[in-house]
Chains A and B, each alone.
Chain A
Amino acid sequence: MIINHPLLGPRDAAEFVVLGDACLIDRPDGMNAASEEMHDYAYVRDNPAGEHRELWYHEQGDRSWLVVTRSTLTHDVIKVELARDVARARGRSR
């Protein structure tokens, strides 16, 4: 597979490490979250057959975390974003 890195252009997927669903960005605050909320965050996944937003890490590269939107049926990559931008857009800051 090829990941079109937003900063570095197309790179072979072998340079990356995959973590999983990009919902892992949405970490609840451990002091305030209900147990159920933290459980769902850590353990429950949509696991869609189709478009999937997922976290890839450019370990053999610039160490960017990316959010890759990819089809789990065809493996086609639809979009690649810097995870930091996605995180900010989802309201994460400090």
Chain B
Amino acid sequence: MTWSEFSFERYRRYLPAAAIFIVAVAASAYLSEVSLTDLRRGILKGLSLLTLFFPPDWSACKDMLQPALVTLVICLVATPIGAAFSIVFGLAAARNIAPEWLRLTARTVIAVERGLPEIVILLVLVAAFGLGPFAGVMALAIGSIGMLGKLLADAIEEIDPRVLDAVAAVGATPWQVIRHAVLPEVLPALVANSIFRFEVNVRASVLLGAVGAGGIGYELDAAINQLEYSRATMAVLMILLLVFLSERASDWVRSKVL
């Protein structure tokens, strides 16, 4: 195709969509206060800040170990608690297990938990329990229930009804059907999802920590607020290490379990 063949007609029907799109981009750029001067200034300032951030303050490494461990432990507690509760919610939200009213209630609860970012849950919990790991554990556990519960409920609804009929046909009670047919079919998937969720929780807990759940996220926030940038770099390195290790570990567990 050469330029002489270019025809404006061809693109005419996309015009309204394109116009809306451009307006949306411009409006969002305006609302999010995008400014190229800020960006240029930011890049220059960022480059000059680099000298402040590097080299990392290696001596702070010792102080960082304990908060990193706290972050890790928060996730190690929150994920299994969330997984355990997600079994209850998953069963209650599955069409082929629960009566309609229970299913709708459970689905609504799960939808709310999934819809709210963990940090919003955390802020509400902090209002009730104060700062500290307890609110962090609860927020992550609730977030985990939302995701794992939905996945579990969907997995349960996908079970072939004939498999469940066959178990009911030997005279099993509904609870026995759950224990001997439903759970064995979906628990391996729940374990795999929980391991994945653990990785997500490690990242999220850094964010939660910065708001006040404690751990390495708090250290990072504190270091930056006190303008101790090389200490902050050390915290970042620690976070990267933590994320990397949790990924390796969950890969390892996954290969062992499945």
Q: Do the two chains belong together in a single complex?
A: no
List B residues at the A interface (Cβ < 8 Å): none
